[in-house]
Amino acid sequence: MAEKYLAQPDLGFIDEIVNLGGDTLKKCFQCATCSVACPIAPDNSPFPRKEMIAASWGLKDKLISSGDIWLCHECGDCSELCPRGARPGDVLSAIRSTAIVEYAQPKSLARAVNDPSKLPFLLGIPAIWFAIFAYITMAAGETMTRLFNKIGIAWSHDTHGAIAHSDFFSTWFVDLTFIPLSIFVTIAFAIGLKRFVVDIHENAVAENKTNRKDLNWGGLASAFVRIIPVILKHDKFNECEANKDRSTAHMMILYSFIGLAIVTGIFFVVLYIFHIPGPYSQFNPVKWIANISGVALVIGSCLMIKNRMAKEDQVTLYKDWYILCIVLSLGVTGLLAEMTRLAGAATFSYFLYYLHLIAVFNLFAFLPFSKMAHIVYRIAAMAYAEYGNRK
C-alpha cells in the first residue's frame, strides 16, 4: 500500500511558477498525453503528468526534491501535443528555476541573478573591479615590477614588443580574481548538490521509484561514470522530435566550454610551472583548440538564440536571455579581442578584453545561481536515475 501523503498547498509557489513562465499550468486537465508523448520519460513513474498535478496543487516540497524535473530536456514534444495548450515543458522549466533558487547559497544572490532590475549591479561590480585593476596595472606597473622582482616573482613578462593583454590587466590580478571565485563556486555547488541528492533520494524512496533505502555514494559515482557517454553524445536530446535541432547548438556550446576549460588549464600550467608567458603563436595546437572552441561557442549560442526566437509558442524570459547573451558575449569579445590584438589595434583589443573579463565573471561567478546551474543538477539527476535503475 502506498504511503499516505498530507497535501500542503503553497499558493505562493503556484504564483511563482506562473511568473516564471508556467502561466498555462491551470489549463491542464490531466489527460496524460504529455507523459505518453515524452520519448525520454522513464517507464517507472513517467513525467510530466505527475509534476503538473503537483504544481497545480502547489506542492513545492514534493516538486523541488524531485529529480524528474531535471530529467526533462524541454524538447517541446509534450507541449506541442498537449490538447489544452498547457505547455508542460514550460511549466517544468519554471519549476527548475525555483529549484535552483531553493538549493542556492546564498539565496539572495540567486534572486538577484534572476531579477532584471539587478542587471546593472551584476555587470557594474566586475566592471569597476577590473577597471581598478587596469589602472593599477598601467599606472603602477614599474613599481609593482620592482617590488615583485625583489621577492623573486615575475609581475610582467617580456613579450618582445607584441601586444599582450597582461600589459593592461596583470595576469596576477586576473588569477587573484578567478581562483578565489572558483573556490566559492565549488563550495556553493557542493552545498546545494549534497542537499539535492539527499532530497531526491528521499523522494524516490517515498514514491517507490527505488528499492534502495540507503543512499550509496559510491554507487552513485559509478552511475555518473556510466552516463558520461550519454551526455557527450546528447542521446536524450536526439530522442526528442519537436525541437530536435536544439541538440546541435547545445552540443556545440558544451564542447566549446570543454575545449576552453582544457586550454585554460594548459596555459595556467605553462605560465606558472614552466614560466612561458603569452601571447602564444597561432600555430600552437592549443591555440587551435582555443580558436575552434571560441568559434563553436559563438555559432552555438547564435543558433540557440535563433531557435528561441523562432519558437513563438515557447516561453522565453529574462532568465533565458540573460544566460544566452552572456554566453554569446563571452565568445564574441574573446574572439574580437584576439583578432584586434593580431591586427595591432591595442586600444580596441584591451577594451574588448575588458568586456570579455566582465562576461567571464558573470558566467562563472553566478554559475550556481543562473539557469546554467542545470549543468550540475541535470547531470546529478541523470546519474541518480541510472543509479536507481530507472529505465
Q: Which CATH architecture has domain 11-104?
A: Orthogonal Bundle (1.10)
CA proximity to 293, closest of 333, 331, 256: 256
With b for 16 or more beta-carbon neighbours within 10 A and e for fewer, the 130-160 pattern comes to beebbeebeeeeeebeeeeeeeeeebbeeee
Q: How far is CA 182 from CA 187, 238, 322, 329, 367, in A?
A: 9, 32, 21, 20, 10
The contacts of residue 93 (CB under 8 Å, 6+ apart) are 20, 21, 22, 74, 315
Q: Is the dihedral of CA 352, 353, 359, 362 positive or negative?
A: negative
Contact criterion met (CB below 8 Å) for 255 and 233: no
Q: What are the per-10-residue average pLDDT scores of the chain (391 residues)?
A: 64 91 91 89 87 92 91 87 92 94 91 93 95 80 58 51 75 87 94 94 83 87 94 84 81 95 92 81 92 96 91 84 95 95 91 95 94 94 90 72
DSSP 8-class letter at 5: -
Is pTM beyond 0.85? Reply is yes
**The pLDDT value given to residue 1:** 45
- Per the CB < 8 A criterion, the answer to whether 105 and 70 are in contact is no
CB of 35 closer than 8 Å to CB of 79 = no
Grid coordinates in use for 23? 502561466
Grid coordinates representing 25 are 499550468
| Rounded distance between C-alpha atoms, residue 370 and residue 381, angstroms | 18
Report which residue type is found at 136.
I
Location of each CATH 1.10.1060.10 domain in the chain: 11-104
Can you tell me the distance from the alpha carbon of 60 to that of 8, in angstroms, rounded to the nearest whole number?
Answer: 9
C-beta of residue 389 within 8 angstroms of C-beta of residue 132: no
